[in-house]
Amino acid sequence: MSFLTEWITNIIIFVLLATVIDMLLPSSNMQKYAKIVTGLLLITIILTPLFKLMSTDIEGMITSMNLKGDSQNNSVGNLIELKKKEIQASQRAYILEQMAVQMKQQAEKEMMDEHGKFIETIVVKADDLENVPDSITEVTVIVKEKQDNTTIETIQNVEIDTGAEPRKNMKPDESVSQMTSLLAEKWNLTPDKIIITVEGGAGNEL
């Protein structure tokens, strides 16, 4: 019963703290990331009893087996440690995946409007999930050209001088550089942390 009370208390306290932090932060990209992190941490707190239950079951099974010998005890200890690492890795992968989804939603419209490309995949790497975006070490982005399945009759090229360089004549490196700058601004990151891979081309780290 005490465990249930403590669990509910932790959830309430965290929600109150998250609300206060949200009110104090200015309206910026940082606020968006703060909401993402607080939401993911709330999910973690809610799932804490499940993780503890799984850990309790493993320890109970170990006790009932009544293993003998130092070698057997070492094997069991290694098994417990392995299970804990697997749970932590799964939790970390889920948080990074959800973060990538949020980042894609923030930038996909501008990427299509300004560069005619859509974001296919985003892979995020971070050292500390509680200190985002400062802890993000690398964001790998795979983009593809917009596909047009409609059939268009071949016509002669018509050139109109507008005084600006057409986007199709832009060098690949310039195009990747502009896309990197766009994503860096949207995600509040430095360009050196973003690696863009264009379909049919090699990755570019700027």
One-character DSSP codes across 32-48:
HHHHHHHHHHHHHHHHH
Q: Which domains does the chain have, with CATH numbers?
A: 2-97 (no CATH), 103-151+164-205 (3.30.300)
Q: Round to whole Å and give the CA distance between 132 and 125.
A: 11
Pick from 50-59, 108-117, 141-150: least confident: 50-59
pTM of the model: 0.47
Cα Dmax for the chain: 85
3-state secondary structure of 162: coil
The residues with which 141 forms a beta bridge, in sequence order, are 122, 196
**Which of the two residues, 206 and 121, has the higher pLDDT score?**
121
Mean pLDDT of 36-40: 79
Q: Is the pLDDT of residue 157 over 70?
A: no
pLDDT band at 69 (very low <50, low <70, confident <90, very high): low
Question: pLDDT of 2-23, one tens digit each?
Answer: 667 877 887 888 788 777 777 7
Q: Are 128 and 41 in contact (CB under 8 A)?
A: no
Cis omega (within 30 of 0) for bond into 172: no
* β-strand partners of 138: 125
Cα gap 183→37, rounded to integer Å: 19
At 206, is the secondary structure helix, strand, or coil? coil
User: How far apart (Å, rounded) are the C-alpha atoms in residues 103 and 91?
Assistant: 19
